[in-house]
A and B are shown apart, each in its own frame.
Chain A
Amino acid sequence: MFIYLIIISLLAITAISFNLPAKRVSIIAAALNLLIGIQLCFFNDLAQSSVELMGLASLKDEGEFFKMGLAITSSNMGLIILTLLVTLAVFVIPELADKDAKFQTICSWLISLGCLLAFAAQDVIFFYAFHELALIPTFLMLGRYGKRAKESTAWKMMIYLAFGSLVLLAGILLLVIKAGAVSFSGLAASVAAESINYHDQVWIAGLLLLGFGTLISLFPFHSWAPHTYANSPTATSMLHAGVLKKFGLLGLWQIGIAFVPQGMAYWTPTLCVLLLGNIIFMGLVTINQRKIDDMLAHSSVMHMGYLFLALVVLIYNPSSQLAYQGFMILMVAHGLSTALLFGLSDVIKRRTGTFHFEDLGGLGKSMPKLCLLFAIATMAALGLPSLGNFTGEFLIFFSAFDTYRSSGEWTMLTTTTVISLWGIVISATYGLRSFRAVFQGASNTYLTQRMESQSIKDIKFSAWIVSIILIIALFILGISPQLFIQHFAS
């Protein structure tokens, strides 16, 4: 069944390269994919579909250990649904000029396909390689259609991420060599036999953290991210910040914590400090931004801190279902809200011609629908209950305090959690401030002048519908997270 998702994506790419109308084909294919994905993830027995390995390569006779393949499991199904949802949004919400549509949609499809394959990979090699596949079109999109300083930003991102990827590759290879397996099941069996000693674990974990950390924009390895997101074409920002970045988090969970737990434990104090760098330091930097795109780009870096906090709890207590569920829910919810915000900000830019807070104001009056969508997405991002991000964040904080309760000791984890809770104030500050600047208050001179020459139209109907789909998903995660939790349970 999973193969259908790949086939449809490839068919869409082929059709577009033969000059069929890019946008229409993409929307149909993405919607179809989404329906299949929902059927696969929610109405199928996952245990059955996870047997569905494609078994593409068998390097040795050792079978299981070297089997490579794809499958939907409880730990990647959330991200797969996220990918499919955001892919649909990418083709509808940002408004493309026709002449660029062909190249851009193909690139978006490739990124989305790379994400799908990487998330579904059941061995470290595919996992690594498909992520790299998704980075290439990202680079092309940024280099060709970027907003400002496109070439230098593209190179900076590429070199930075190539560095991260190489470190990561070193870590993965070291793991493969020490454990003698590439498939997740093989690695698990090998690790269960305690084949990797503590010293090696520390090294592997360090390399993985540095590599994955760079890809997730862990402080202080984040400085590629804000520029990339702010300058990329909107579709790329949506896919990269919303979806592709989650690759690193998934990797730290299903490779790092699963196979080198003691090594990860060694790095916990460092990780605690660095994640506070994400939440507090980057949060303050976000407050200082004066443009919507810069604000969104930085806030996306900031929110990674909570996900790292979940990982730290999982390092302390790998069996904590609370942290695991919070981690999964927050990854999906963050992806949805970030992608939505990036998409909507594109509409603002196209209607008003600016991203600057001081030029905007009072848009709620002329664009009430967009205002409502943006408000909900902002409220989701700042963690309002009844939307998915709150559920995720709350479960993560709760799991940290639950660890405190069960151990009875106030640890570094508890201190980190208390400090990172201040993040809810920081994210509310920049979220409301940007909403206030863009949608509320009186319109200023720039906007009034512009409105004299042309009226500002509200969001298009198709974009409205797709945004509502994403918002419904956020509400489901917030109000009835149990629907997901029972599927995420491992």
Chain B
Amino acid sequence: MNLNPWLLLLIPLLSSLTIWWLLSATKSAVAAWFSTVSSVACLLIVIGLNQAEELGAYAFNWIEIDNLVLSIGLMLDSTALKMMLIVTGIGTLVNLFSTIYMAKDEHAARYYASLSLFLFSMTGIVLADNFIMMFIFWELVGLSSYLLIGHWFTKDSAANAAKKAFLMNRIGDFGFLIGILLVWVMAGTFHFDQLATMLQDKPAQIASLGAITLACLFCGALGKSAQFPLHTWLADAMEGPTPVSALIHAATMVAAGIYMLFRFQLSLGHDIAEMIFHTWAGTMIAYLGAATAVIAALCALAQSDIKKILAYSTLSQLGYMVMAIGLGFKGGEAAMFHLYTHAWFKALLFLGAGAIIYRCHHQQDIWKMGGLAKRMPITALCFIIGSAALMAIPIVTSGSYSKEQILEVVHHENIILFWVAIFVASLTVFYTLRLVIVVFSGFSRNDDSSDAKEAPIAMLVPLIILAVLAIISGLPKIAKILAPAYHEHPIVFNFVFISSTIAILIGAIAAFIIYKGKQREPLYLPVLKKAFGFDFLYEVFLVRWIQRFMAGLCQVIDQFLISAVIVNGLARLTAYIGQGLRQMHRGQLALYHLLLSAGMVVLIYLFVFA
């Protein structure tokens, strides 16, 4: 029995609690280093575990009723451990980066406590050995994301964005929870390592429940990985501090949806996974992913906020992964590979953007920057390397290896989606080059960016490490060591490769022609800038009109029909009846006499004639 893996959960949890309770009064630097050291400790443990040969971990019984045990246990297979490398690796770099970025923040202790809480919950998701545990940590990740987006909670926009992110995720979790319970109905277990055996001889169950279970589970990914139609929270989540965006809303948490689906595939085993994913549910997943990829890429090319551009590009890349995983087992492997390369280069891009924002007096509008290549050369170089990886420049960047693998799978499975993916690849190059050209070339357009200096060393170190990884992490030799569920896939100069290269060229040429040397936005694209009006649709139509109308209607029914008419009405009715009966007891002898005589007449009639 090995208790070391539990330290991965304990260290960040204890660090979070310690910072929250003890260090909130001290200087933020203490909290910063405390948090950084704890994440380094986690990284070292993960590296150690990756080299260990035999792993056994203890499982706690969370609930034990009759013979049924719901446990909190760790699953330490190579996929999980390598995923942990990404989480703790980027976690450490982001912590380091934050020591500068958040140095002047009054409430930095709260920030680091939430960051540690995030590492704790994310570790829980990655190492979960069953769906219940995954769901528990899934929600806790949502909580830490809520806390971090709303870090500057006195700002209305940040508070709203935090609330929106939590609620959108809750909608997804509604489906996710049903999905988990359906897994129980279908297989009679929540444990990943028992799913395959339990389902082995139950083709009837798989046929009747497999697709709907998958669709419901996918709802969880829909929320957490911000897929269409629940995608709108991610752009707003950029209200959080930039290092948070790098860690949570680019590299790790938003990838949890893909990780969960892949974990499901993996535990079903190849054959059953193919059976379940090759249904309407799998197709739906693939198409929704593709839709997200297209919509987000289109939105990205009209944004002027540097973080929003990156946020939409994250959405678009996540859509790529979801599209791949919907197509089956091979797609799942490709998606995991892309998740891995994307994590490094997107974290790099966000941290680079953070460095730029930091040095430009918190200016985020790219049209107020410019010429930064000269003023911040190292940052610029790192950022451009990240951009190249995002554009998937063939052979030399990590992004190209993983993207190629996805395109191969999609080309093999579904030709429509393949052309969609090629289109998105072209768009990706277009909006990424736009960003690079506008920010780094030419002259500065605003005072905020004119006196920018090179970023401080504690920011540059993470950038350089990530830049190196953005180049080499795709190489088969490196990927074999670092990438989760890596399946070697050599690049072949075939049709897929050629068409994606042509797409990249088209995007690049277009971007150069349109944006080179421009002082202000040359294209007028209001629909894309407003992200197709989904926010308007949801916030005004669904929330303000439909929900408020329904709530108001219920309120009216409750207050007027149930409370006023029925309840008070019955009370009134009773009162009126009482008043009516009182009329007979007014002390008028004549009336009493009349009633008495009438009664006697009736009695005489009954006795004599009946």
Which A residues have a C-beta under 8 Å from some C-beta of B? 159-160, 220, 223-224, 281-282, 284-285, 287-288, 321-322, 325, 362, 364-365, 379, 384-386, 390-391, 394-395, 397-398, 401-402, 404-405, 418, 421-422, 424-425, 428-429, 432-433, 436, 439-442, 480-482, 485, 489
> Which of B63, B182, B558 is the one whose CB lies under 8 Å from A482?
B63
A-B pairs with the 3 shortest C-beta distances? A440-B159, A288-B551, A385-B136
- Whether A485 and B64, one on each chain, are in contact in the complex, defined by CB atoms closer than 8 angstroms, is yes
- Whether B174 and A424, one on each chain, are in contact in the complex, defined by CB atoms closer than 8 angstroms, is yes
- Whether A421 and B178, one on each chain, are in contact in the complex, defined by CB atoms closer than 8 angstroms, is yes
Known A-B contacts A223-B558, A421-B174, A432-B163; the reply to A325 vs B135 at CB < 8 A is no
* B33 lies within 8 A of chain A by Cβ: no
Known A-B contacts A285-B554, A321-B66; the reply to A482 vs B61 at CB < 8 A is yes
Give Cα distance in the complex from A436 to B562, angstroms. Answer: 31
Q: Is the interface of A mostly helix, strand, loop or mixed?
A: helix
- Whether A402 and B184, one on each chain, are in contact in the complex, defined by CB atoms closer than 8 angstroms, is yes
Give Cα distance in the complex from A36 to B62, angstroms. Answer: 27
- Whether A285 and B555, one on each chain, are in contact in the complex, defined by CB atoms closer than 8 angstroms, is yes
Closest to B182 in A: A401
Which of B162, B555, B571 has the most C-beta atoms of chain A within 10 angstroms of its own C-beta? B555
> Which of A224, A287, A322 is the one whose CB lies under 8 Å from B547?
A287
Closest to B72 in A: A479
- Whether A322 and B65, one on each chain, are in contact in the complex, defined by CB atoms closer than 8 angstroms, is yes
Which B residues have a C-beta under 8 Å from some C-beta of A? 61-66, 68, 132, 135-137, 139-140, 143, 150, 153-156, 159-160, 162-163, 166-167, 170-171, 173-174, 177-178, 181-182, 184-185, 188, 547-548, 550-552, 554-555, 557-558, 562-563, 566-567, 571
- Whether A398 and B167, one on each chain, are in contact in the complex, defined by CB atoms closer than 8 angstroms, is no
Closest to B561 in A: A220
Residues of A contacting B184 with CB < 8 Å? 398, 401-402, 405
Residues of A contacting B160 with CB < 8 Å? 436
Known A-B contacts A159-B571, A485-B63; the reply to A223 vs B178 at CB < 8 A is no
Closest to A159 in B: B571
Q: Is the interface of B mostly helix, strand, loop or mixed?
A: helix
Residues of B contacting A439 with CB < 8 Å? 153
Give Cα distance in the complex from A250 to B548, angstroms. Answer: 35
> Which of B137, B139, B185 is the one whose CB lies under 8 Å from A404?
B185
Closest to B548 in A: A288
Closest to A362 in B: B154
- Whether B185 and A401, one on each chain, are in contact in the complex, defined by CB atoms closer than 8 angstroms, is yes
- Whether A287 and B159, one on each chain, are in contact in the complex, defined by CB atoms closer than 8 angstroms, is no
Give Cα distance in the complex from A405 to B170, angstroms. Answer: 25
> Which of A281, A364, A418, A433 is the one whose CB lies under 8 Å from B558?
A281
Residues of A contacting B154 with CB < 8 Å? 362, 364-365, 440-442
Give Cα distance in the complex from A52 to B557, angstroms. Answer: 49
Number of A-B contacts (CB under 8 A): 119
- Whether B551 and A285, one on each chain, are in contact in the complex, defined by CB atoms closer than 8 angstroms, is yes
Give Cα distance in the complex from A319 to B36, angstroms. Answer: 51
Residues of A contacting B65 with CB < 8 Å? 321-322, 325, 485, 489
12 contacts between A and B (CB under 8 A): A223-B567, A287-B547, A288-B551, A384-B139, A384-B143, A421-B174, A424-B177, A425-B167, A432-B167, A440-B162, A441-B156, A481-B63
Give Cα distance in the complex from A405 to B188, angstroms. Answer: 8
Whole-angstrom distance between the Cβ of A319 and the nearest chain B Cβ: 9
Give Cα distance in the complex from A285 to B566, angstroms. Answer: 18
Whole-angstrom distance between the Cβ of A436 and the nearest chain B Cβ: 5
Closest to A428 in B: B170
- Whether A424 and B173, one on each chain, are in contact in the complex, defined by CB atoms closer than 8 angstroms, is yes
Closest to A219 in B: B562
- Whether A220 and B143, one on each chain, are in contact in the complex, defined by CB atoms closer than 8 angstroms, is no
- Whether B188 and A220, one on each chain, are in contact in the complex, defined by CB atoms closer than 8 angstroms, is no
- Whether A421 and B177, one on each chain, are in contact in the complex, defined by CB atoms closer than 8 angstroms, is yes
Whole-angstrom distance between the Cβ of A130 and the nearest chain B Cβ: 27
Residues of A contacting B558 with CB < 8 Å? 223, 281-282, 285
Give Cα distance in the complex from A482 to B139, angstroms. Answer: 21
- Whether A386 and B140, one on each chain, are in contact in the complex, defined by CB atoms closer than 8 angstroms, is yes
Known A-B contacts A322-B65, A362-B154; the reply to A288 vs B552 at CB < 8 A is yes
Residues of A contacting B64 with CB < 8 Å? 482, 485
Give Cα distance in the complex from A405 to B155, angstroms. Answer: 48
- Whether A397 and B181, one on each chain, are in contact in the complex, defined by CB atoms closer than 8 angstroms, is yes
Closest to A433 in B: B163
- Whether A418 and B178, one on each chain, are in contact in the complex, defined by CB atoms closer than 8 angstroms, is yes
Whole-angstrom distance between the Cβ of A490 and the nearest chain B Cβ: 12
Residues of A contacting B562 with CB < 8 Å? 220, 223
- Whether A395 and B63, one on each chain, are in contact in the complex, defined by CB atoms closer than 8 angstroms, is yes
- Whether A429 and B177, one on each chain, are in contact in the complex, defined by CB atoms closer than 8 angstroms, is no
Give Cα distance in the complex from A418 to B175, angstroms. Answer: 9
- Whether B567 and A160, one on each chain, are in contact in the complex, defined by CB atoms closer than 8 angstroms, is yes
- Whether B68 and A284, one on each chain, are in contact in the complex, defined by CB atoms closer than 8 angstroms, is no
Residues of A contacting B174 with CB < 8 Å? 421-422, 424-425
Closest to B132 in A: A394
